[in-house]
């Protein structure tokens, strides 16, 4: 099945797949924001709301998806707030007519406010609890964060995408960023991570609720922390202090990992460009990212990479003196 045949995933198949697990929708299907997979919210005849997630073909193996599910279920068992999949007759990953899917409870919530220091400390507490309680058992089938996947492969793919006249300036700076990131990305230890822990993947109810573990990986602990930091150096230092105050109530943090923040940011930037190029045949991507692959887009990426190269050449973010 082609990775770009989500158009064949029609409402009849979706409803039949859900009903195959003994859950009977009583409402229409509301498509939720998701580009990598297809995700729909619905209400069932039991009065509860659910979310069904259909996985993109050819991306993850069944073992990799099941590891993600087991990770989130393990988090729930130790009181880390996470949206974990339903387990029905001992299974959390299902298949219907070749489509793999999972069903989750639907939870509401407000946006997590990164500039709210009280909320930030609470998030730090739960991330520390997650890393301490379930982080040490590494994924067996999911990849660890690595420079080949995050840097080499995207840059190789992008060689066919740059418009004439911008290829040389783009790859000149991109290759410098990649080499600097490779040299600096030397994690001392790795654990099991959420992997994509940015503010949009945290809902706020009475406290934080972690969602979307689709990119769960092994990697350094700081990967689940650095995307919470925003603003200038002083703002980020304050945010880091508050985040770690909550985190270290449960789990020690190795301050040497702060030197990994800018390499990880560089890896994310280049991987994101490659991700858009790799998925561009999917019509959903063309609708959601119409600016991709324009002359202006690549000019902006050249500028962003130059700024990132400068960041890689500076001293890493440090904790507030006296922390």
- Tell me the two tokens of residue 64: 């990799």
Tell me the pLDDT band of 319, cut-offs 50, 70 and 90.
Answer: confident
Tell me the pLDDT band of 34, cut-offs 50, 70 and 90.
Answer: confident
Q: Which long-range contacts (CB under 8 A, 24 or more apart) does 106-109 make?
A: 106/41, 106/48, 106/49, 106/50, 106/51, 107/83, 107/203, 107/205, 107/209, 107/211, 108/203, 108/205, 109/203, 109/204, 109/205, 109/209
Catalytic residue, from 12, 46, 160, 212: name it. Answer: 212
Question: With contact defined as beta carbons under 8 Å apart, do 202 and 284 qualify?
Answer: no
> What Rg value do the Cα atoms of the chain yield, rounded?
21
Q: Is the pLDDT of residue 267 over 80?
A: yes
- Beta strands at 191-193 and 217-219: parallel, antiparallel or unpaired: antiparallel
Question: pLDDT tens digits, residue range 41-87?
Answer: 999 999 999 999 999 998 999 999 999 999 999 999 999 999 999 99
Neighbour-count burial for 233-267, b at 16+ CB within 10 Å, e otherwise: eeebbebbbbbbbbbeebbebeeebbbbbbbbbbb
Question: Is 10 annotated as belonging to a binding site?
Answer: no
Q: Is 115 a catalytic site residue? A: no
Q: Is 252 a catalytic site residue? A: no
Question: pLDDT tens digits, residue range 164-219?
Answer: 899 999 999 999 999 999 999 999 999 999 999 999 999 999 899 999 999 999 99
Q: Is the pLDDT of residue 321 over 70?
A: no
Please tell me the pTM assigned to this model.
Answer: 0.94
Question: Is 37 annotated as belonging to a binding site?
Answer: no
* 195: DSSP letter: S
Catalytic residue, from 115, 196, 214, 232: name it. Answer: 196
Tell me the pLDDT band of 320, cut-offs 50, 70 and 90.
Answer: low
Q: Is the pLDDT of residue 316 over 50?
A: yes
C-alpha neighbours within 13 Å on the C-beta side of residue 272 = 14
**pLDDT, position 323:** 45
SS3 label, residue 301: helix
What's the CA gap between 61 and 159, in Å, rounded? 28
């Amino acid at each position: 099945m082609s990775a770009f045949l989500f158009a064949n995933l029609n409402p009849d198949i979706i409803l039949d797949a859900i009903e195959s697990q003994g859950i009977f929708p009583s409402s229409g299907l509301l498509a939720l924001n998701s580009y990598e997979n297809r995700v729909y919210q619905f209400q069932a005849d039991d009065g509860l709301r659910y979310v069904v997630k259909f996985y993109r073909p050819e991306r993850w193996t069944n073992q990799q998806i099941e590891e993600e599910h087991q990770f989130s279920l393990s988090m729930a068992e130790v009181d880390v707030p996470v949206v974990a999949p339903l387990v029905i007759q001992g299974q959390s990953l299902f298949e219907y007519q070749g489509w793999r899917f999972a069903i989750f409870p639907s939870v509401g919530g407000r946006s997590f406010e990164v500039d709210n220091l009280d909320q930030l400390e609470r998030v730090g507490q739960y991330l520390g609890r997650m890393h301490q309680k379930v982080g040490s058992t590494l994924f067996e089938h999911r990849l660890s964060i690595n420079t080949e996947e995050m840097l080499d492969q995207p840059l190789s793919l992008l060689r066919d995408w740059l418009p004439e006249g911008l290829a040389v300036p783009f790859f000149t700076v991109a290759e410098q960023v990649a080499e600097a990131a490779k040299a600096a990305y030397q994690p001392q230890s790795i654990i099991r991570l959420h992997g994509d822990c940015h503010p949009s993947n945290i809902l706020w109810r009475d406290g934080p609720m972690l969602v979307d573990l689709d990119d769960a990986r092994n990697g350094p602990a700081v990967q689940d922390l650095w995307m919470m930091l925003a603003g200038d150096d002083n703002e980020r230092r304050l945010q880091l202090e508050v985040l770690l105050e909550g985190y270290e109530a449960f789990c020690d943090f190795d301050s040497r990992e702060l030197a990994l923040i800018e390499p990880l940011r560089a890896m994310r930037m280049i991987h994101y460009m490659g991700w858009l190029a790799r998925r561009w045949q999917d019509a959903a991507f063309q609708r959601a990212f119409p600016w991709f692959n324009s002359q202006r887009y690549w000019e902006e990426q050249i500028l962003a990479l130059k700024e990132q190269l400068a960041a890689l050449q500076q001293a890493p973010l440090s904790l507030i003196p006296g922390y």
